Amino acid sequence: MAFSLSSISLSISILIKKFHFSPKFLNSIGSYEMGSSFSVMGWSRTSAGDRSLGTGLGDLPESCVATVLAHLDPPQICRMAMLNRAFRGASSADFVWESKLPSNYGDVIGKVFEKDEGFCEGLCKRDIYSRLCRPNYLDGGTKKVWLDKSTGKTCMLISSNGLAITGIDDRRYWSRIPMEGSR
């Protein structure tokens, strides 16, 4: 059985555009109890109306699916992982998530998790991406850094306590007056 990358890509893009993975569609795909998944996309109907096992998306090689998933946005990859085992396995490939991480993610991990020496030791790129999408504090809690879930771009929030006037670190020019109505 041979699949071309363009036919796989076309099939996946049709799924994304047509169904938008509504709850009704996800329920029609199969059950997801106890971590097992079952896809009815591989079933075809015969003339008698019986269901027989045919060729479907679950028969695609994981490497082909992973190559296509690498071109999708992270939320779309996560939705595609719910289709069947092949898609779930392909969505865990490191090269899929490596392209979603910012180029300086090693530096970000070094700053944020400097106390956790072995943070990246047993984690795959998907888990690193997931962990970096959560707000992470650094510099004593004066800064917060995270990745935007959709784009993978680095976001940073700096509190007023983390700011300083360059060249003039004199209390006369920079005084914090707590007020009752402020946060």
Does one domain contain both 84 and 110? no
Question: Three-state SS for 75?
Answer: helix
The pLDDT of residue 34 is 33
Do 75 and 116 belong to one domain? no
Q: Give the residue carrying structure tokens 């699949």.
A: 3
Is position 64 within any domain? Answer: yes
pTM of the model: 0.62
Look at the block and give the residue holding tokens 């595609």. 80
Are both 96 and 110 inside the same structural domain? no
pLDDT value at position 64?
Answer: 84
Count the domains in the chain: 2
176 class by beta-carbon count within 10 Å (0-12 exposed, 13-18 middle, 19+ buried)? exposed
Residue 178 forms part of a structural domain: no
Q: Does residue 115 share a domain with residue 79? A: no
Residue carrying the six token digits 């007020």: 179
Q: Establish if 96 belongs to a structural domain.
A: yes
- What token pair was written down for 143? 């800064």
13 to each of 5, 8, 31, 76, 98, how far by Cα in Å?
12, 9, 23, 10, 22
Residues of the domain holding 67: 60-100
Is 152 found in the same domain as 113? yes
Q: How far apart are CA 48 and CA 124, in angstroms?
A: 47
> E strands, the chain, where?
43-45, 51-53, 136-138, 143-147, 154-158
Same domain? 71 vs 93: yes
- DSSP helix/strand/coil, 51: strand
Asked whether residue 96 falls in the same domain as residue 128, the answer is no
Reading the chain (183 residues) residue by residue, the pLDDT tens digits are 455 556 656 666 665 554 455 544 444 443 333 333 344 444 444 445 545 556 777 777 878 888 888 888 998 998 888 888 888 888 888 888 998 998 888 888 888 887 776 667 778 889 989 989 999 998 888 899 999 988 888 899 998 778 777 767 666 666 677 778 766
Predicted local distance difference test score (pLDDT) of residue 107: 85
Which pLDDT belongs to residue 31? Answer: 35
Q: Does 38 reside within a domain? A: no
Q: Both tokens of residue 152?
A: 């993978």
Residues 148, 135, single domain; the answer is yes
